[in-house]
Amino acid sequence: MTRYARLYAYFLRFSFSRAMEFRLDFFFRIFMDALWYGVNLAFFWVLYRHSGLLGGWNFDQTLIFAAGVFVADGFHMTVFANNMWMFPILVNKGDLDYYLVRPVSSLFFISLRDFAANSFLNLLMALGVLAWALIRYPEPVGLDRIAIYLALMGVGFFINYTIHLLFLVPVFWMHSGEGLRDIFFTLGSYSNRPDGIYRGWIRRFLTTILPFAIMVSFPTRVLFGGNVGEILLHMGIVAAVAFGVLLLFWRLGLRAYGSASS
Amino acid sequence: MIRVRSLSKTYYVHKKAPGLMGSVRSLFVRKKTPKDAVKAVSLDVAEGEILGLVGPNGAGKTTLVKMLAGIIFPTSGEASVLGHTPWERDNEFRRQIALIMGQKAQLWWDLPAADCFLLLKEIYRIPDEKYAENLEYLSTVLDVKKDLNVQVRRLSLGERMKMELIAALLHEPRVVFLDEPTIGLDLTAQRAIRDFILEYRERHKPAMILTSHYMEDIERLCKRIVIIQDGAFIYDGQLDDVVKTYAKRKVITAHLRKQDGSLPERRELERFGEVLEETDLQVRLSVERPRVAEASGYLLENLPVADLAIDETDVGTIIEQIFQERREQAE
């Protein structure tokens, strides 16, 4: 475990060194994400001018939820997104070869090799928005609830990564992952809205099979008195099953990997 | 150290009819045809041996190497590398092998090679002392010590390849797969890399499999070669024996003194074989092996020979001939 932590420290170091080389991209990303945060906050602000509650949450609660969405997005963009973007290219060009001959987990290498240092400032910005939303929340929220919220957000990040990679793994067989990647991003927008707005079978689907609706909403529920045990169990089971399925498909994918001729 | 028995790899490829209609049809109906990349091959490679894998493009060389490095799964057959089944990819196996591909980079493009080596040190758990010792040795022998802190993308192709070799060998692998390590390099760099591989072999005695399109790599580095065509081995033996087995002719070159008289009739020379060249200063004949003595005697007797040389056909030409003959047979 400590070896993997040391390896990740190298990835961080390399990624920061590289990001500094491309200054324009560095500032452009910050601008783009700030714009996205603004558009999302404005969206909820407009909605609450016409309704007092949305999926059972008032504006202050939804503001915390939205800040959580920014943090989840910032985390995914910083830690995983570049790696996910590269993965189909590595498979199709046969560049996975060198990852497979190393005595470390290929899944670890593929998933975490590139840390998007230029998105890191956005993550900090999103955490700032979250802190602001929590501070301005009119009712008291215990520190224990905040700690559980943050831990569950971590589980949500993990589920998001797992599902994202599950949408990409078929590239081993299909060789073109663009369609599935687009579906993932479309479905991903379901995690940007409070889960309370989904009803019936759509809700069941989005909280179990493709659990986009639980990633940020469920941790946020803990802050407003949600049942911690129930939420913890639900998210824990979803995370374990999703990761188990990912490992299975990863192994099958590597069996099907044909590399590319040189 | 490497043992392979009846190893095969079949890919399934779909062929699309040309044009828009072909594309539309392939959207709904796809006929997959099997393509045997490697056909039931067997071989053994011993410690300290460099086996040359020779074959035209698409012969199956790289597929075989990738199966043995554990990158791709075979369709059938067995392989054991250092007692491990490569495609099971256990860490103990991967810690002891190295793969160098001339056409693919393993180093991080935007970083100095020295940084990449530190990452590899961690990946292979190389102790500090061993790492320092190996890096010093490899960078000195390859003469790239001064470039270790230069960004990889700013290095020349030759320097980059040397860094790739260091990256692959820092952990002292016991089995090394070299897939076209000199491709695209200038002659000086090619020579430097060949010299280094020999030096490294002397020092560490790894088992090596080398694929290359450059016959000079093969001639300089390998005593034993395997010739592979269309996925099957057509020769496995000593490099020298290729000449004996397949070279049915020798080339006789007679350098002539200045003379007043005329050369023998071309017809006379053609009795012995093919006349490759016939000038006032030189005559070159390609002659079947059993008739070499007779033809040499004739030339010495009938021409003002100053010097006479009898050469084997070079290995590259012989191998090319073998491929050509087999292609013609197949057609």
- The ipTM assigned to this model is 0.82
Determine, for residues A101 and B108 on separate chains, whether the beta-carbon distance falls below 8 Å: no
Do domains B2-243 and B248-312 share one topology? The answer is no
A261: in domain? no
Determine, for residues A262 and B123 on separate chains, whether the beta-carbon distance falls below 8 Å: no
* Residue A199 touches partner B, C-beta closer than 8 Å: no
DSSP chain A: -HHHHHHHHHHHHHHHHHHTT-HHHHHHHHHHHHHHHHHHHHHHHHHHHH-S-BTTB-HHHHHHHHHHHHHHHHHIIIIIIHHHHHHHHHHHHTTTHHHHTSSS-HHHHHHHS---HHHHHHHHHHHHHHHHHHHH-SS---HHHHHHHHHHHHHHHHHHHHHHHHHHTTHHHHS--HHHHHHHHHHHGGGGS-GGG--HHHHHIIIIIS-GGGTTHHHHHHHTT--HHHHHHHHHHHHHHHHHHHHHHHHHHHHH------
Secondary structure (3-state) at B152? helix
Our CA-based measurement puts residue A216 at a distance from the nearest CA of chain B, in whole angstroms, of 35
Sheet with B273-278: strands ordered across = B273-278, B282-288, B249-256, B305-312
A224: in domain? yes
pLDDT at B266 over 60: yes
Domains contained in chain A, number: 1
Which of the four pLDDT bands, split at 50, 70 and 90, describes residue B261? low
Sheet with B76-81: strands ordered across = B32-45, B2-14, B76-81
What is the CATH code for B2-243? Answer: 3.40.50.300
Which range of A7-16, A230-239, B8-17, B26-35 scores highest in mean pLDDT? It is A230-239
Secondary structure (3-state) at B3? strand
Determine, for residues A17 and B123 on separate chains, whether the beta-carbon distance falls below 8 Å: no
The predicted structure's pLDDT at residue A109: 93
The predicted structure's pLDDT at residue A170: 93
The predicted structure's pLDDT at residue A180: 85
Smallest CA-to-CA distance from B322 within B234, B256, B252, B194 is with B234
Q: Which of A6, A14, A100 sits opposite B108 (nearest CB)?
A: A14
- Dihedral sign for Cα B281, B282, B283, B289, please: positive
pLDDT, one tens digit for every residue, chain A (262 residues): 788 999 999 999 888 877 776 667 767 777 887 888 888 888 888 888 887 777 788 889 999 999 999 999 999 999 999 999 999 999 988 889 999 999 999 999 999 999 988 788 889 989 999 999 999 999 888 899 999 999 999 999 999 999 999 999 999 988 777 888 889 989 888 888 898 889 999 999 999 999 999 999 999 999 998 899 999 999 999 999 999 999 999 999 999 998 766 5
Domain residue ranges of chain B, discontinuous segments joined by + = 2-243, 248-312
* Residue A14 touches partner B, C-beta closer than 8 Å: yes
What is the CATH code for B248-312? Answer: 3.30.70
Secondary structure (3-state) at B145? helix
Which residues of B are less than 8 Å from A261 in CB distance? 58, 62-63
The predicted structure's pLDDT at residue A46: 85
A176: in domain? yes
DSSP bridge pairs for B308? B254
Q: Pairing state of beta strands B273-278 and B282-288? A: antiparallel
* Between residues B52 and A55, the one the model is more confident about: B52
A155: in domain? yes
Rounded to 10°, the helix B157-169/B113-123 angle is 20
Which of the four pLDDT bands, split at 50, 70 and 90, describes residue B312? confident
* Residue A51 touches partner B, C-beta closer than 8 Å: no
* Residue A176 touches partner B, C-beta closer than 8 Å: no
A262: in domain? no
- pLDDT digits over B67-78, tens only? 999 999 999 999
Question: For the whole model, what pTM was predicted?
Answer: 0.83
| Element (DSSP H or E) covering residue B102 | none
Which of the four pLDDT bands, split at 50, 70 and 90, describes residue B24? confident
Which of the four pLDDT bands, split at 50, 70 and 90, describes residue B214? confident
Eight-class DSSP state of B313: P
The fraction of chain B above a pLDDT of 70, given in percent, is 98
Determine, for residues B94 and A102 on separate chains, whether the beta-carbon distance falls below 8 Å: yes
- pLDDT digits over B116-158, tens only? 999 999 999 999 999 999 999 999 999 999 999 999 999 999 8
Rounded CA gap, B239 and B259, in Å? 41
Determine, for residues A104 and B123 on separate chains, whether the beta-carbon distance falls below 8 Å: yes
Print the domain residue range for A81.
Answer: 2-256
